[in-house]
Structure 1
């Protein structure tokens, strides 16, 4: 047990073999150490975001919870990669002479794409809800985002040059998302007020800049096999830190004095209205005074809701 706290044994316990092949191009102990540090950062950020949410009424916590969910998901992802898990060896398209990337099979961490499938959609929700965009636009943006992530994963797992077709599809989807953030989202946010526009511009600009760098990292790592997996972890790790932790901190700070109702998020708690307190569900106390005796709302009365008030 003492050795567990003295050194990182993850690569000795979990080797680079998976699916009947061994990755000869993979992370080292240094890369694993970096991932463990980032795992701790994501976990700490999650606790901070949740703690900050307790200072707000339950109806004002939507952005806190979304942001905490982002770093919580990233925490599990970094735990998996630091443990040398969640990968599969894939033959590289380009053989390199550099000893750090010389070999046949490279570690491709699919767990990272599972993370992105969840967290990028939540990041978009954070931004587009701040801008007050209509729900159909938000849902379409999330679908395009999922399309982009799936294309990235398919390309990373493809052995031949056809991987660059998936890369192109993903980049096209990214361009649409950048357009949505920079143009439509900014217009909607500015219409909600100067303070909302300021928060959106600050956070949206940061996210747009960082997301443009992800395809570059992909091309140098999973795609081109140019930089070593340890450097890959640092590259993606810095981008994740900026797009998840720094972004989350800026967003929550910006929302500290913004009522979600101004953004079209009129959320009601069960005890917000004393007139319906106790009649949160059908049949609760006070329900009978709004019915005609047969359990049906009487005409001309203000009947209580049949389910939870949202």
Structure 2
């Protein structure tokens, strides 16, 4: 299937992924699909009303799965003239808008997954999610711009990312954690891991969609490794830390079930 994807859906850009790049994307798609199935099983094993974090993870993994199916099939890209490799006229490069649609959903949800485990006010969480959306939109618009003005969007996106780092590493870590702070060590490890992964995305963008230094196939391998680490690896790592925390200590429920008492506390108001 992977070997025939480029034949069934031929690339329409001068610089495009190779069959090896498509093979890697199918492998990443398999990882996301398997992780999604495992997460669904883990979700069903939990009592009703205690599935919020697992169900957010399911949405994230389902979105990654659909995104990588599209990219492995050589769908969801558009040709954009690029700089630095042209001789007289600039060649076109595949820009994968489907990847940014994927990140538009997964990036805010990854942050929501982590920040809901802290004592941050809802207003701070919503502001952080908005900044993550700004990062993705700036990356997409910058990738679609041919001129050097794309680096202006890159700078705006990096500044928005600085705010996300601040909340993850400083503001979030200094809040009063639920359950007498039992989750604090797990949060610090998870937030540190996620923050480090987020640093590498702008570097990859600068080398691929931005500076056109690496090929689309190398871009796919680089982004794919980052998405696997920031997606399934991070989610299973974070949920493992949550497994020892009393869900009722968060002060909210993800639903009510007849005969299932999750917590005597009322749900947190929005």
User: Shared topology, TM-score over 0.5?
Assistant: yes
- Equivalent residue, structure 2, for 1:80: 70
- Equivalent residue, structure 2, for 1:229: 216
- Equivalent residue, structure 1, for 2:265: none
- C-alpha deviation, 1:268, in angstroms: 4.9
Q: What is the distance in 1 between the residues matched to 2:214 and 2:62?
A: 28
- Work out whether 1:29 is the aligned partner of 2:24: no
- C-alpha deviation, 1:148, in angstroms: 1.1
- Equivalent residue, structure 1, for 2:34: 44
- Equivalent residue, structure 2, for 1:280: none
Q: What is the distance in 2 between the residues matched to 1:74 and 1:157?
A: 22
C-alpha RMSD of matched pairs (Å): 1.8
The correspondence of residues 1-310 of structure 1 with structure 2, limited to 5 A, is: 4=1, 8-17=3-12, 23-95=13-85, 104-188=91-175, 190=177, 192-272=179-259
Kept in 2: contact 1:25–1:103 (CA 8 A): no
Q: What is the distance in 2 between the residues matched to 1:171 and 1:109?
A: 20
For 2:116, what is the secondary structure of its paired residue?
A: helix
Distance 1:191 1:48, change over 3 A: closer
Q: What is the distance in 2 between the residues matched to 1:67 and 1:130?
A: 14
The structure with the largest alpha-carbon Rg is: 1
Higher relative contact order (CA 8 A, sep 6+): 2
Q: Which runs of 5+ in 1 are unaligned?
A: 18-22, 275-310
Aligned length: 260
4+ aligned runs moved over 4 Å, structure 1: 189-192
Distance 1:252 1:27, change over 3 A: same
For 1:205, what is the secondary structure of its paired residue?
A: helix
- Equivalent residue, structure 2, for 1:297: none
Kept in 1: contact 2:119–2:177 (CA 8 A): no
TM-score for the superposition, normalised by structure 2 = 0.91
Q: What is the distance in 2 between the residues matched to 1:56 and 1:45?
A: 17
Q: What is the distance in 1 between the residues matched to 2:176 and 2:193?
A: 16
TM-score for the superposition, normalised by structure 1 = 0.80
Q: What is the distance in 1 between the residues matched to 2:225 and 2:90?
A: 26
Q: Which runs of 5+ in 2 are unaligned?
A: 262-270
